[in-house]
Amino acid sequence: MTNLGDITDDDEEGNVSLSNNNVVGVTVGRQTLNITNQGDITDDDDKGNVSLWAGNFSIYWLLATLIGLWFIFIHTPQHITAKGVQDYGVVFWMHITLACFTYIACMWNVFHTPSHGPWYANIHILVGRTAVFTSLVGFSLGMVAAWGPGSTTSFGFAIGITSGGIGQIICTIIGFSAIKLHQWEKEKPVPDEKWKQRYLRIHIGTMLGLFFPSCGVPAVMRIFEMVGMKMQVGLPVGLTIFAIMIPLTTQALDKKRWY
């Protein structure tokens, strides 16, 4: 707890905050009690949650999100329609559905984290746990769709999505394990603050890795392809661009700025 009355471990229930109006908000479970400097206590379930648009905004998140939304809702439908819907089997449709959910889950969970309030904490956890499943299963189905019998995926794009998929699995497993270790460390009678924060940083870093290079590379490869760049060149360029965005986004989060 800082001298302003903030509990720095934000994903726990029982958050205390002090506003400029000398109102202390104590969150107990899903209920917030506001204690004013006159000693009055009022119930307000909305207190403690930031506004929907007041998330972890940065230019890097915006760019990656716009690319992802273009890839999911504009490019992919056009590509499938042009090629012929009948050319795609059940495995592909299951893969694309799970992959799109994972991508959108990353957009949301990077923008809103547990520190933004109890409502966002609950959504973050639910979306994150669901995305672990969709990430693992979606990758497996994607490999079948890209490399299995009858696949119509080009060799270059198959290499690209496989590279992104492998990174996706690594980030998913390490990120999920890190946040569980963070939670277990907190539950110890005497938690090790150094390791608790280290696990949390690993979780954040790997989830940014899942969002930027793992989910983003297939989308940015399509953009490079549209401007005449070969897949063999677009893949390393895309990986490099999104990899650089990870430390830049981490720095933006730490300093609470947009760049």
pLDDT tens digits for range 216-234: 988 998 899 899 988 888 8
Confidence band, pLDDT 50/70/90 cuts, at residue 47: low
Sheet of strand 31-35: strand arrangement: 16-18, 24-28, 31-35, 41-43
**127 and 68 fall within a common domain:** yes
Confidence band, pLDDT 50/70/90 cuts, at residue 157: confident
Top pLDDT among 84 and 256 is at 256
Confidence band, pLDDT 50/70/90 cuts, at residue 161: confident
Return the residue matching tokens 């990870």. Answer: 246
**251 and 212 fall within a common domain:** yes
Read off the pLDDT of each residue in 128-154 and give the average, rounded to a whole number: 92
pTM: 0.79
**42 and 88 fall within a common domain:** no
Winning range, highest mean pLDDT, from 13-27, 54-68, 144-158: 54-68
Q: Using CA of residue 65, residue 92, residue 83, residue 241, what is the dihedral sign?
A: positive
**44 and 88 fall within a common domain:** no
Residue 43 belongs to what domain range? 1-48
CATH number at residue 95: 1.20.120
Q: What is the pLDDT of residue 114?
A: 96
**71 and 44 fall within a common domain:** no
**71 and 30 fall within a common domain:** no
Q: What is the tens place of the pLDDT at every residue in 70-103? A: 999 999 999 899 888 767 889 999 999 999 999 9
Read off the pLDDT of each residue in 168-192 and give the average, rounded to a whole number: 97
**41 and 162 fall within a common domain:** no
Counted domains in the chain: 2
Q: CA geometry: angle at 114 spanning 113 and 115, to 5°? A: 90
CB atoms within 10 A of CB 80: 15
Rounded to whole angstroms, the Cα distance separating 79 from 89 reads 15
**185 and 212 fall within a common domain:** yes
**16 and 113 fall within a common domain:** no
Would 101 be classed as within a structural domain? yes
- Least confident range of 187-196, 213-222, 249-258: 213-222
